[in-house]
C-alpha cells in the first residue's frame, strides 16, 4: 500500500475514533441523567447516540451543500470576470482610442467618448504555423562558413590580380631593356 494513502487512512480513522468517543461520552451523560429519571441506561444511550449520529449527518450535509454553493458562486463570479477583456479600440468615425470591454460570442459595441458615435466591434481570429527556432550555434556557423568561403575566394582573386599585374609590369620592363 502507498505510504501516503496509509497515512491518510490512519488520519481518517483517528478522527472517526475521536468523534465516536466524544459521541459516546455525551450519550452516556444523557443516559445517566435518564437513568436517574427511571429510564433504561442502555436504551437511552443507544437513542442519544443515534440522535447525535443523525444530527451530525444533517449538519455535515448542510455545511457541505453551503460550501459547494459558495464555491459554485465564487467560480461563476470568476468566470464572469474572465469572460470580458479590456482592449483599446480606435473609433471608426474619429479614430480616437477607447477602452472597451469585449466578450467572445457576444454582440460587442461601444459609444466613442470623443465623438459620441456608435461603433460595432468585429472579432477576427487567425492561425499561425508553429515553428521551431533555429539554434544560434547553427545559424552563426552557417554565417561564418559563408563569410569564410567568400573571403577565401576574394583573397584568391586578389592574388590572381596581383600576379597578373606583376607579370604585366615585368613584361613591360623586359620590353624597355
Which is more confidently placed, 127 or 160? 127
Query: What is the pLDDT, as a whole number, of residue 164?
Result: 53
- Cα separation, 163 vs 141, in Å, equals 32
Task: Say whether both 17 and 45 belong to one domain.
Answer: yes
Do 100 and 112 form a contact (C-beta atoms < 8 A)? no
CA-nearest of 122, 97, 96 to 109 is 122
Task: Say whether both 20 and 53 belong to one domain.
Answer: yes
Query: What is the pLDDT, as a whole number, of residue 83?
Result: 80
Task: Say whether both 36 and 104 belong to one domain.
Answer: no
Query: What is the pLDDT, as a whole number, of residue 152?
Result: 63
The boundaries of the domain holding residue 142 are 135-177
Kindly tell me if the per-residue pLDDT of 154 is higher than 80: no
- Cα separation, 30 vs 49, in Å, equals 10
Query: What is the pLDDT, as a whole number, of residue 162?
Result: 56
Task: Say whether both 66 and 101 belong to one domain.
Answer: no
Q: Is residue 23 situated within a structural domain?
A: yes
Task: Say whether both 49 and 115 belong to one domain.
Answer: no
Q: Is residue 160 situated within a structural domain?
A: yes
Query: What is the pLDDT, as a whole number, of residue 151?
Result: 62
pLDDT band at 142 (very low <50, low <70, confident <90, very high): confident
Dihedral of CA 11/17/20/24: which sign? negative
Q: Is residue 58 situated within a structural domain?
A: yes
Compute the average pLDDT of residues 32-45.
91
Which is more confidently placed, 73 or 83? 73
Task: Say whether both 96 and 143 belong to one domain.
Answer: no
Q: Is residue 125 situated within a structural domain?
A: no
Task: Say whether both 106 and 41 belong to one domain.
Answer: no
Average pLDDT over the chain, rounded to an integer: 82
Describe the crossing of helices 3-36 and 41-83 by its angle, rounded to 10 degrees.
Answer: 130
Query: What is the pLDDT, as a whole number, of residue 124?
Result: 83
Domain count, the chain: 3
Q: Is residue 68 situated within a structural domain?
A: yes
Amino acid at each position: 500500500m502507498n505510504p501516503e494513502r496509509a497515512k491518510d487512512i490512519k488520519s481518517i480513522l483517528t478522527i472517526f475514533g475521536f468523534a465516536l468517543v466524544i459521541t459516546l461520552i455525551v450519550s452516556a451523560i444523557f443516559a445517566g441523567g435518564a437513568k436517574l429519571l427511571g429510564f433504561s441506561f442502555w436504551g437511552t444511550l443507544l437513542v442519544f447516540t443515534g440522535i447525535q449520529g443523525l444530527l451530525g449527518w444533517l449538519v455535515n450535509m448542510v455545511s457541505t451543500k453551503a460550501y459547494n454553493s459558495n464555491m459554485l458562486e465564487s467560480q461563476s463570479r470568476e468566470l464572469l470576470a474572465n469572460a470580458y477583456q479590456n482592449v483599446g479600440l480606435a473609433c471608426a468615425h474619429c479614430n480616437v482610442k477607447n477602452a472597451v470591454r469585449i466578450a467572445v460570442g457576444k454582440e460587442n459595441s461601444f459609444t466613442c467618448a470623443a465623438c459620441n458615435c456608435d461603433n460595432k466591434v468585429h472579432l477576427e481570429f487567425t492561425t499561425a504555423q508553429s515553428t521551431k527556432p533555429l539554434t544560434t550555434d547553427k545559424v552563426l556557423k552557417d554565417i561564418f562558413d559563408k563569410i569564410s568561403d567568400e573571403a577565401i575566394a576574394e583573397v584568391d582573386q586578389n592574388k590572381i590580380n596581383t600576379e597578373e599585374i606583376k607579370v604585366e609590369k615585368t613584361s613591360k620592363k623586359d620590353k624597355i631593356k
